[in-house]
Amino acid sequence: MALIKLDKEAYKFNLRQLALRAGGYENLICVFKDNAYGHGAQILAPIAREEGVGFIATRNEQEALALEAHFKDILILSHRPNGKEDPRFIYALNEPLNLKDFKKNTRIHLKIDTGMRRNGICLSNLKEFLDSFHRYDLKLEGIFTHFAAADEDESYHFQRQNFQKAKDLARNFNENLIFHSFNSVALSRDTPPKDELCRVGLLQFGYGDDGLKKVLSLYAHRLSQRTLQKGQSMGYDNAFVAQEKMRVGTYDLGYADGLFRYDARGGLRLADGREILGKMSMDSFSCEDGGEELCVFDDARIWAEFFHTISYEILVKLHPSIPRILI
């Protein structure tokens, strides 16, 4: 049985570090979207709550409903208004044209486009928008923005300045609004403004800052073992050929579990340095025999580099059906 182990103490440690940097748990919005970045939202939610997290963000209502029992506030990031909004949740307003489609009294956090140009209302339209907002029976509770490249000085400072202008404007309109802009990269480089919450995803799981601890490790278990003679091939398309007699094992994790399909081009290594041999199958891979249990990775960056992507993508694709346990 393939298995994901989640390190409870590492997760708690990371949360405490984030709370310190954000100025307390009350200033944290933990982003739990997409099964908590593939980690397992249901398992991590009670730990976050026990530690003191009261506010999370999810992708959609389905995720919010599944976590609702644990948290006081849940912001839904990617909702398309349909008139059926749930009064227990807060909804991101990504498109001002859709304001009319929300159910009355829906709690809203307005996204400001400060330069990413993906979602939200343009800063130049904000005043007009706020002036006319009272026409809709909606509750505006917060204002936020998202950085396109918090690790690039020019882009980051440009967006921060724009968000400051948005805050100044919005405060005139309603002094009880809450603000948030800091994502993981911003929080790892900078101290957040005192009047903001931090909306943090990846840092929770130990990536993006060397002072934090990795939470997730992925394991596979042996399905079978055999001896290959020199010259014998193994797996699809006979892509691996033994150069000498060797003992190999086949393990129960494949690309159906959300891993990229390794095509035997060479160089993809497990946590202990062992190389995957031949092409990855849908439900299994093979390598030099490593016993009953092998750690596939405890640091997704190795797989991210190999497949020319980011750790987010390696983690989030881990299939929800892989069993997850706390260690």
Active site residue 251: no
- Measured from the CB of residue 43, what is the shortest distance to ligand PLP in angstroms? 18
Active site residue 111: no
Cβ-based nearer residue to ligand PLP, 33 or 160 = 33
Does residue 160 contact residue 190 with C-beta atoms inside 8 Å?
Answer: no
Q: What is the DSSP letter of 214?
A: -
Quick note: the x/- pattern for ligand PLP over 55-74, rule CB under 6 A, is: --------------------
Using the rule CB under 6 A, is 324 a contact of ligand PLP? no
Residues 18-37 contacting ligand PLP, CB under 6 A: 31, 33
Tell me the C-alpha to C-alpha distance, in Å, between residue 206 and each of 9, 47, 51, 184, 217.
12, 15, 16, 10, 12
Using the rule CB under 6 A, is 146 a contact of ligand PLP? yes
Does residue 186 contact residue 156 with C-beta atoms inside 8 Å?
Answer: yes
Cβ-based nearer residue to ligand PLP, 113 or 257 = 113
Q: Which of 17, 35, 58, 183 lies at the binding interface for ligand PLP (CB under 6 A)?
A: 183
Quick note: the x/- pattern for ligand PLP over 104-143, rule CB under 6 A, is: ----------------------------------------
Q: Residue 208 has which token pair?
A: 């993006």
Binding part of the chain for ligand PLP, among 96-104, 198-206, 241-249, 299-307 by CB under 6 A, reads 198-206
CA-based nearest residue to 264, from 236, 226, 223: 236
Does residue 77 contact residue 111 with C-beta atoms inside 8 Å?
Answer: no
Q: What is the DSSP letter of 319?
A: -
CB count in 10 Å sphere of residue 253:
26
Residues that bind ligand PLP (CB under 6 A): 31, 33, 77, 146, 183-185, 199-202
